[in-house]
Structure 1
Amino acid sequence: MDDHNDERTYLVVRNGEEQYSIWWADRELPPGWQAEDTQGTRSECLAHIDRVWQDMRPLSLRRHMEKHGA
């Protein structure tokens, strides 16, 4: 199914490592993921993620690098 024919509603979700993804709004979230405030079409949700997810490194790696000056 391409984006133009996909009429499902999606949520923007984020895990404890501050990594983003999308998930179908009508399904239970997988363990470890929380819904953000954004929902809409697949394209809208992916565009939102493109705007807000500036550093794709997991949170634990960012913290480690900050601590060790890397």
Structure 2
Amino acid sequence: MANPFEEPDSNYTVLRNDENQHSLWPAFAPAPEGWTVVHGPGRREECLDHIRENWVDLRPRSVAEFITAQAGS
């Protein structure tokens, strides 16, 4: 059986959690608890493009907020 995360012709969704982290997810599978569908379903490359365009700060939200707060002190 092929890896469902690497099928170029399959449909995917893009998930995001409360920490603003993104994940490519097979469209046939329900989103796990704590994750929300923010794009798709669509082709793998389309979903990867969405992630590249929208997840530009790879730090978890809480870390980015902490660093910002420390810089302002």
With the length of structure 1 as denominator, give the TM-score of the two structures: 0.83
Extract unaligned runs of 5+ from structure 2. Answer: none
Residue 39 of structure 2 contacts residue 50 of structure 2 at CA under 8 Å; is this kept in 1? no
Match of 1:68 in 2: 70
Residue-pair matches, total: 69
**TM-score where L is the length of structure 2:** 0.80
CA RMSD of aligned residues (A): 2.1
- What is the rounded CA distance, in whole Å, between the counterparts of 1:38 and 1:48 in structure 2? 9
Q: Does 1:26 align with 2:34?
A: no
Counting aligned pairs with the same residue, the percent is: 35
Inter-partner Cα distance in structure 1 for 2:15 and 2:37: 4
Runs of 4+ residues deviating >3 angstroms? none
Structure 1: stretches of 5+ with no match in the other structure: none
